[in-house]
Structure 1
Amino acid sequence: MSLRDMNCTFSPAALDAPDVASLLAELDGWAISGARLERRFALRDYHETIAFVNALAWMTHQQDHHPDLLVTYNSCTVSYCTHSAGGSLTNNDFICAAKADALYAQRAGA
């Protein structure tokens, strides 16, 4: 089952470095920044950026796993870690990253 087809779980376990590396290899454009999983999504303009942010907010609410967002006129940087796992990376971070990628690929006019 692909990451984007999975759902977040309650109280996930922190991943070790080999698991993080393996899951990171399944994602395009994502990187580890400190202890966080992060990607910058380039968008056309403010309207497209906010539409993407709104779609992302809906998805993350459904998964009950919320990222930190940095929103600019034509980009959104998404940053995940799992606070309930002490700020470590968990499967939930990679699941939501894959779902964010799917939203980005489906945006209007892409």
Structure 2
Amino acid sequence: MNLLTLHCEPQLGKAALDDAARESLLAKLPDWTIRDGQLTKTFRFPDYYRTIAFVNALAFVAHREDHHPDLSVHYNRVVVNFSTHDAGGLTLNDFICAAKTDALVATA
């Protein structure tokens, strides 16, 4: 399954992924972890300009996928947290958006 080719779908009324599915998908995402029920990763940048450029690019992806992360923005780093509130946990949408977030940095 190539997460980059998939798109998010509404999750209202759907169940969160089970442990086995989460772990299988997590294996496709280097440096992402599951903490407090969220898929999380810290991205580091050399300066504030690049940090904000990343945030703006991520905002565009999140809007296009209609799946929005919680962000903690600092001078040279951004902590990205994905979870699906409608499903009460992690869904495929979170892993799709995490892969697309990694792709932003890979192409920069």
Structure 1 stretches (4+) deviating beyond 4 angstroms? none
Output one character per residue of 1:26-68: Cα deviation in whole Å (capped at 9) or x when no partner.
0011001110000000111000000000000000000000000
- How far does residue 4 in structure 1 lie from its aligned partner after superposition? 1.2
Structure 1 portions without partners, runs of 5+: none
Alpha-carbon distance in structure 1 between the residues aligned to 2:103 and 2:44: 14
2:42 is equivalent to residue 3 of structure 1: no
Alpha-carbon distance in structure 2 between the residues aligned to 1:30 and 1:66: 17
Where does residue 28 of structure 1 map in the other structure? 30
Q: How does 1:1-110 map to 2 (within 5 A)?
A: 1-11=1-11, 12-86=14-88, 88-107=89-108
- How far does residue 90 in structure 1 lie from its aligned partner after superposition? 0.2
For the residue of structure 1 that corresponds to 2:96, the secondary structure is: helix
- Superposition RMSD in Å: 0.9
Alpha-carbon distance in structure 1 between the residues aligned to 2:98 and 2:4: 8
Structure 2 portions without partners, runs of 5+: none
Q: TM-score, normalised by structure 2?
A: 0.95
- How far does residue 13 in structure 1 lie from its aligned partner after superposition? 3.4
Aligned length: 106
Taking only the aligned residue pairs, the percentage that are identical comes to 53
For the residue of structure 1 that corresponds to 2:81, the secondary structure is: strand
